[in-house]
């Protein structure tokens, strides 16, 4: 009887131990394993390559920090030009109201009768006119004059040329009474969204935004989108100040959209906190980011394996000396993982100079020992369960003996 009981206990112990070791579900985990995911899929597409998406791995050091400037979402100057030089000359447009005055050098001409005599300023002022939909105005004896899309000086010269054989040394003066076509629209997160008339001396982006009441959110969380003739570009608001070339001149018909978008990064792995974290400041470096995420967990993290995932410009990686031969030559954006080693004291100085960007991902790897500890915890748990089975069996055996008595 004792032999049978021992065999039963041993069998139970072995079954529990083997079942525990073979059942991956007993290991601590945050979700289903890859086997469960693949096994439960109704359909799957597997990449022929071992790595579905190629990426570059770059160690953070002094040799790369100078090339990590944030290019921002775009460039107004690069998209439209107009950041340097004099302001563009404003042109007459449809709907503008203008007034034409014509001077002659002596009386008896086309517009000044003989009886007027010789007097200073022999001129006649024509009634105000609105530039029609086709862009024309009408001048007596000169006919239709194209005004739309031209400057005041160009319109004056055409009037004079058409009257030169009919009036006495004609001179024309064209004045802009009401300018309705040289307007821009400012909408979004500004103090007073509205349509604005451009100054004849030229208004830049900051001038126009200021006229609309200025921004209502911090500059480091504000973006400016310019839409012009079917094309658009977006920049950080602060770029208009830090890089004056981006503060380009506004032109008639522009639509300027100002909006707020808080920059954020994600943190995963062996950090004190996981999730999305807002920058909440103009500049955030890697040290700041790790601190916001609760630092490294001293019982899990491998300080030598702290990573930042982002998409980097090809030109910047080339300056860093990264071999980009495996990538398509036309690929301008390269998936990149930056790695730092916090076991090295100097890496903390480098991390303070490593600028974070919107949508970066910070990942801290587990130390190798952590996986070993997980396994040992499993084995300890199985051993304890086996011991409990043996104890329970012995108790049952003792109870049976008592009942038989």
pLDDT tens for 35-59 read: 677 777 777 667 656 556 889 999 9
Please give the Cα distance from 317 to 5 (Å, whole number): 70
Residues 235 and 247 occupy one common structural domain: yes
Residues 333 and 309 occupy one common structural domain: yes
Domain boundary residue among 178, 193, 228? 178
Residues 83 and 216 occupy one common structural domain: yes
Say if 389 falls within a structural domain: yes
CB 270 within 8 A of CB 342: no
Say if 233 falls within a structural domain: yes
The DSSP secondary-structure symbol of 94 reads T
User: What residues make up the domain containing 235?
Assistant: 76-87+182-260
* Residue whose token pair is 């982006």: 205
Residues 147 and 19 occupy one common structural domain: no
Residues 190 and 82 occupy one common structural domain: yes
For every residue of 183-211, DSSP letters joined together read EEEEEESBSS-EEEEPPTT--BHHHHHHH
Domain boundary residue among 205, 234, 260? 260
Say if 110 falls within a structural domain: yes
pLDDT at 7: 45
pLDDT at 132: 93
Residues 272 and 350 occupy one common structural domain: yes
Say if 82 falls within a structural domain: yes
Please give the Cα distance from 373 to 85 (Å, whole number): 67
pLDDT at 38: 72
CATH code for the domain in which residue 117 is found: 3.30.1950
pLDDT at 62: 86
Residues 268 and 349 occupy one common structural domain: yes
Max Cα–Cα distance, the chain, nearest Å: 153
CB 104 within 8 A of CB 275: no
Helix axes 2-22, 368-404, angle to 10 degrees: 150
Residues 194 and 161 occupy one common structural domain: no
Instruction: Tell which residue, 331, 294, 290, has the closest CA to residue 314.
Output: 331
Say if 308 falls within a structural domain: yes
pLDDT at 106: 80
Q: What total number of domains does the chain contain?
A: 4
CB 136 within 8 A of CB 144: yes
Domain boundary residue among 126, 155, 178? 178
Strands 264-269 and 275-278, bridge-based pairing: antiparallel
Residues 80 and 209 occupy one common structural domain: yes
pLDDT at 396: 46
Please give the Cα distance from 203 to 198 (Å, whole number): 6
List the structure tokens of 166.
């009919």
Residues 11 and 83 occupy one common structural domain: no
> How deeply is 96 buried, as exposed, middle or buried, from its count of CB atoms within 10 A (0-12, 13-18, 19+)?
buried
Residues 172 and 231 occupy one common structural domain: no
Residues 318 and 386 occupy one common structural domain: no
Say if 53 falls within a structural domain: no
The DSSP secondary-structure symbol of 128 reads P
Query: Which parts of the chain sit beneath pLDDT 50?
Result: 7, 9, 12, 14, 16-18, 21, 382, 385, 387, 389, 396, 403
Say if 32 falls within a structural domain: no
CATH code for the domain in which residue 242 is found: 3.10.560.10
Say if 67 falls within a structural domain: no
pLDDT at 299: 86
């Amino acid at each position: 009887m004792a032999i049978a009981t021992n065999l039963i206990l041993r069998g139970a112990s072995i079954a529990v131990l083997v079942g525990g070791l073979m059942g991956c579900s007993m290991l601590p985990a945050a979700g289903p394993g890859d086997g469960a995911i693949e096994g439960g899929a109704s359909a799957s597409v597997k990449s022929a390559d071992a790595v579905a998406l190629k990426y570059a791995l770059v160690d953070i050091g002094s040799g790369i920090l100078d090339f990590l400037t944030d290019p921002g979402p775009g460039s107004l100057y690069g998209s439209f030009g107009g950041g340097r030089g004099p302001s563009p000359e404003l042109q007459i447009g449809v709907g503008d109201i203008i007034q034409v005055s014509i001077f002659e050098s002596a009386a008896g001409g086309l517009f000044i009768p003989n009886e007027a005599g010789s007097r200073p300023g022999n001129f006649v002022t024509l009634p105000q006119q609105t530039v029609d939909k086709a862009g024309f105005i009408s001048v007596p004896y000169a006919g239709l004059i194209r005004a739309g899309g031209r400057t005041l000086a160009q319109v004056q010269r055409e009037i004079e040329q058409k009257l030169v054989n009919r009036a006495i040394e004609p001179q024309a003066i064209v004045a802009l009474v009401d300018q309705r076509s040289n307007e821009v629209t400012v909408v979004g997160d500004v103090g007073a969204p509205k349509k604005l008339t451009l100054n004849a001396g030229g208004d830049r982006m900051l001038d126009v935004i200021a006229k609309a009441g200025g921004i209502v959110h911090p500059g480091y969380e504000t973006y400016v989108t310019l839409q012009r003739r079917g094309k658009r570009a977006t920049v950080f608001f602060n770029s208009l100040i830090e890089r004056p070339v981006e503060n380009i001149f506004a032109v008639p018909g522009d639509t300027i959209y100002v909006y707020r978008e808080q920059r954020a990064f994600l943190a995963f792995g062996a950090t004190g906190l996981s999730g999305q974290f807002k920058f909440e400041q103009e500049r955030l470096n890697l040290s700041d980011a790790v601190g916001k995420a609760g630092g490294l967990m001293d019982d899990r993290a491998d300080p030598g394996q702290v990573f930042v995932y982002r998409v980097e410009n090809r030109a910047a990686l080339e300056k860093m000396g990264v071999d980009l031969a495996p990538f398509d030559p036309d690929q301008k954006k390269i998936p990149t993982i930056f790695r730092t080693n916090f076991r090295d004291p100097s890496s903390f100085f480098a991390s303070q100079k490593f600028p974070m960007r919107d949508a970066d991902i910070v990942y801290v790897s587990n130390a190798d020992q952590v996986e070993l500890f997980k396994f040992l915890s499993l084995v300890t748990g199985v051993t304890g369960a086996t011991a409990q089975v043996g104890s329970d069996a012995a108790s049952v055996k003792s109870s049976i003996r008592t009942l038989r008595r």
